[in-house]
C-alpha cells in the first residue's frame, strides 16, 4: 500500500519520524489506506513554509480577482472528481454515498461562493470629521492560518475553512482528523493542480495532541480555526493565547427541536428523523433533543418509534442503506455509555438502545437508532452532546416553557421550531439563543448564510460574508492631504 504523504512547502513528504497510521473503514474495519503520521516537528516546518509564503507576499498580493479564479478552479476540479471524492468519504466515514455526494455538491458550492466574493472584498470610505483628510477602511489577509478539522464531515468542514482563507489571501496549514484524512489529502492535490503556489497550502497529518497542539500554540501562526469537541476547543483556546491568535471555534451543540401541536404532523415526524439520523447522528447541528407539546406527545412518539424501527443499517455503498456505522470503536462505546447514563437517570427506552444483532453488521461500529422518552432537562443525557443516533424527548405545556427548555443548555449552535402559527414561530425564533434557528425545517445550511454558535458552541462564524471576514484584518488608513504644523509643543 502506498503511503499517503503530507504537503509541506510545496513538497509531498513522509513524516520526519517515518511513522505511519492505518486508516480503517468503520463498516468492516478493513484497512483502506496508510498515511504519514506527522508530528510537532512537521507542523513547525509547515508553519515556517506558510510563514515564508505569506511574508513573500506572492499570494496575498495576487490580484483578488485572480485569487478568485484559482478558487473557482478548485471548485471545478472538485466537481470533476465528485464521484471519487464521495466514494473516498464514504469509505473513510461510513456514511452513505448519497450523503457524501450531497456533501461534495455543498463543498463545490462553498468554493464557488468564495471565488465570487474574493473580488468583492471591498473596503469602505469614511466621512472623516477632520477637514482635508481621506479616511478609508481596507480589509487585508490575517496571515498564517492554522485549521483543524474533525472526522464527521471531513471535507465539508475543510472547505468551510480553506475557501475563505484562500480567497482572502492567507497562507495556511491544515490538520484533518487523524482518522479521516483521505478526502482532505485529495483536495490538497487538487489545489496544487489548480495552481495555488507552493507554500500557500500546507497539510500536516497526525494526532491532535502533537500536530494540533503545535498549530494552536506556535507563535508564528496568526489565526487558528478549529472545529471539534468542546473540551478540545478549550485546550486550543488556551494554547492560542501564547501570541493572542485570532480564534474561530465551532464546538458542536445539543440542539433543541420544538414541535407544537399545530405543526404539520407527518412532516414534523419525518423531519425530526432527518434532523438527527443523517450520518448516524454525528452532526454538530443534530436535532437530538426533541421538545414536544404535551397534547400530541404520545401520538408523536408512537409515530416516530414506528418509523425509527424501520431504519435500515448497512454499508454506505448499499443503495438500500439509510444509516451507516459510527466512526470508531471508541466512539461506539461512548454512545453506548451515553444511553446507559440516560437510562440510569430515569429516561425510558422507546426503541433501539444497543448494537444490532444482524450478523452482516458484526464488524462495523453500528448502534441502533434510539429514542429515549420521559427525559428532563436536568439529565446529563439531555445536556451533553451524544453525537450518535439518539433522540431524547421532553414534553412542554406552554410556549414560554418550550423556549425556556430549549435555551436551558450550555450550547447554542442551532434549533428548530415546528408550528403552522407564523407569529408563534417568529416569537420563538426571536427568543431562541442559537446561531441558527430553522422554522418548519431542520439541518439546512448553505454557503451564503453564516454558521456559528452562541454560548459554548463557539466563537466566530464560517460561511457567508462573515466567514470571509474571519480571515481578514481591518485597517484604517488616514491621509492628511493638507498637513499643517500644530505648534503645540516647544513653541518658544
Ligand atoms: O473530537 P476532537 P473527538 C464532539 C462530539 C464528540 C466529541 C469528541 O461530541 O463526541 O466532540 O470527539 C484535534 N489540540 N465533536 O474527541 O478531539 C483532533 O485531532 C489541537 C463535535 O474525536 O475535538 C481532530 O482533528 N487539536 C464536532 C479535531 O481536534 C486537537 C466534531 C477534533 O477532534 C487536540 C467532532 C489538541 N490538544 C466532535 N486534540 C463538531 N463541532 O462538529 C485533538 N485535536
pLDDT in tens, 61-117: 999 999 999 999 999 999 999 999 999 999 999 999 999 999 999 999 999 999 999
Atom index in ligand 1 nearest the CA of residue 334 equals 10
Q: Does residue 178 line the site of ligand 1, with CB under 6 A?
A: yes
Edge-to-edge, what's the strand order for the sheet holding 133-141? 124-126, 133-141, 472-480
Q: At what angle do helices 97-118 and 82-93 cross, to 10 degrees?
A: 120
Cβ(456)–Cβ(478) under 8 Å? no
In the reported structure, the alpha carbon of residue 345 is separated from the centroid of ligand 1 by a whole-number distance in angstroms of 26
φ and ψ of 190, to 5 deg: -65, -35
In the reported structure, the alpha carbon of residue 232 is separated from the centroid of ligand 1 by a whole-number distance in angstroms of 6
Short-list 217, 225, 224, 212, CA closest to 243: 217
| Annotation says 428 is catalytic | no
Tell me, what's the pLDDT at 121? 79
Cβ(173)–Cβ(146) under 8 Å? yes
* Measured distance CA(148)–CA(218) in Å, rounded: 14
In the reported structure, the alpha carbon of residue 208 is separated from the centroid of ligand 1 by a whole-number distance in angstroms of 8
> 122 pLDDT band (50/70/90 cuts)?
confident
In the reported structure, the alpha carbon of residue 296 is separated from the centroid of ligand 1 by a whole-number distance in angstroms of 37
Tell me, what's the pLDDT at 372? 98
Cβ(436)–Cβ(391) under 8 Å? no
pLDDT at 339 over 80: yes
Give the residues across from 437 on adjacent strands. 415
Give the residues across from 34 on adjacent strands. 3, 22
Short-list 100, 402, 76, 443, CA closest to 261: 402
Tell me, what's the pLDDT at 1? 81
Tell me, what's the pLDDT at 347? 98
Q: Which of 150, 341, 443, 462 to mutate to test the pocket of ligand 1 (most atoms within 8 A of CB)?
A: 150
Q: Does residue 255 line the site of ligand 1, with CB under 6 A?
A: no
pLDDT at 311 over 80: yes
Measuring from atom 35 of ligand 1, which residue has the nearest CA?
228
pLDDT in tens, 67-80: 999 999 999 999 99
Q: Which of 203, 212, 224, 232 to mutate to test the pocket of ligand 1 (most atoms within 8 A of CB)?
A: 232
Mean pLDDT of all residues in 447-464: 98
* Measured distance CA(425)–CA(418) in Å, rounded: 7
* Measured distance CA(462)–CA(121) in Å, rounded: 16
pLDDT in tens, 199-213: 999 999 999 999 999
In the reported structure, the alpha carbon of residue 228 is separated from the centroid of ligand 1 by a whole-number distance in angstroms of 4
pTM, two decimal places: 0.98
Q: Does residue 315 line the site of ligand 1, with CB under 6 A?
A: no
Q: Which of 161, 180, 228, 329 to mutate to test the pocket of ligand 1 (most atoms within 8 A of CB)?
A: 228
Amino acid at each position: 500500500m502506498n503511503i499517503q504523504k503530507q504537503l509541506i512547502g510545496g513538497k509531498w513528504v513522509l513524516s520526519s519520524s517515518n511513522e505511519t497510521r492505518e486508516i480503517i473503514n468503520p463498516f468492516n474495519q478493513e484497512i483502506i489506506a496508510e498515511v504519514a503520521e506527522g508530528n510537532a516537528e512537521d507542523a513547525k516546518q509547515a508553519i515556517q513554509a506558510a510563514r515564508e509564503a505569506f511574508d513573500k507576499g506572492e499570494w496575498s498580493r495576487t490580484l483578488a480577482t485572480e485569487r478568485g479564479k484559482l478558487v473557482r478552479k478548485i471548485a471545478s476540479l472538485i466537481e470533476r472528481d465528485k464521484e471519487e471524492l464521495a466514494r473516498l468519504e464514504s469509505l473513510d466515514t461510513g456514511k452513505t454515498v448519497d450523503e457524501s455526494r450531497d456533501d461534495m455538491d455543498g463543498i463545490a458550492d462553498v468554493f464557488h461562493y468564495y471565488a465570487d466574493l474574493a473580488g468583492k472584498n471591498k473596503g469602505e470610505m469614511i466621512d472623516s470629521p477632520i477637514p482635508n483628510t481621506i479616511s478609508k477602511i481596507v480589509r487585508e489577509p490575517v496571515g498564517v492560518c492554522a485549521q483543524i478539522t474533525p472526522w464527521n464531515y471531513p471535507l465539508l468542514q475543510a472547505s468551510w475553512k480553506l475557501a475563505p482563507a484562500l480567497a482572502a489571501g492567507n497562507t495556511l496549514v491544515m490538520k484533518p482528523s487523524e482518522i479521516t484524512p483521505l478526502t482532505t489529502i485529495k483536495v490538497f492535490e487538487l489545489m496544487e493542480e489548480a495552481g495555488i503556489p507552493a507554500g500557500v497550502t500546507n497539510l500536516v497529518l497526525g494526532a491532535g495532541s502533537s500536530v494540533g497542539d503545535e498549530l494552536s500554540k506556535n507563535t508564528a501562526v496568526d489565526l487558528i480555526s478549529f472545529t471539534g469537541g468542546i473540551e478540545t476547543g478549550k485546550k486550543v483556546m488556551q494554547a492560542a493565547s501564547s501570541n493572542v491568535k485570532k480564534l474561530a471555534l465551532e464546538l458542536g451543540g445539543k440542539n433543541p427541536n420544538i414541535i407544537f401541536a399545530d405543526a404539520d404532523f407527518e412532516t414534523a415526524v419525518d423531519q425530526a428523523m432527518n434532523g438527527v439520523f443523517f450520518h448516524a447522528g454525528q452532526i454538530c447541528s443534530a436535532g437530538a433533543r426533541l421538545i414536544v407539546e404535551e397534547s400530541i406527545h404520545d401520538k408523536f412518539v408512537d409515530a416516530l418509534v414506528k418509523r425509527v424501527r424501520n431504519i435500515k443499517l448497512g454499508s454506505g455503498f448499499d443503495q438500500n442503506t439509510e444509516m451507516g456505522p459510527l466512526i470508531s470503536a471508541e466512539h461506539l462505546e461512548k454512545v453506548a455509555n451515553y444511553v446507559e447514563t440516560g437510562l440510569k437517570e430515569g429516561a425510558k427506552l422507546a426503541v433501539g438502545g444497543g448494537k444490532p444483532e444482524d450478523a452482516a453488521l458484526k464488524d462495523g461500529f453500528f448502534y441502533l437508532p434510539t429514542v429515549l422518552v420521559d427525559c428532563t432537562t436536568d439529565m446529563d443525557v439531555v445536556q451533553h452532546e451524544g453525537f450518535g443516533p439518539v433522540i431524547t424527548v421532553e414534553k412542554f405545556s406552554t410556549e414560554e416553557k418550550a423556549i425556556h427548555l430549549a435555551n436551558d443548555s450550555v450550547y447554542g449552535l442551532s434549533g428548530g421550531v415546528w408550528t403552522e402559527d407564523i407569529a408563534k414561530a417568529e416569537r420563538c425564533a426571536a427568543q431562541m439563543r442559537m446561531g441558527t434557528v430553522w422554522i418548519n425545517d431542520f439541518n439546512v445550511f448553505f454557503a451564503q448564510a453564516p454558521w456559528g454558535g452562541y454560548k459554548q458552541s463557539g466563537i466566530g462564524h464560517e460561511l457567508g460574508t462573515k466567514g470571509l471576514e474571519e480571515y481578514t484584518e481591518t485597517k484604517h488608513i488616514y491621509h492628511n492631504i493638507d498637513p499643517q504644523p500644530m505648534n503645540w509643543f516647544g513653541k518658544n
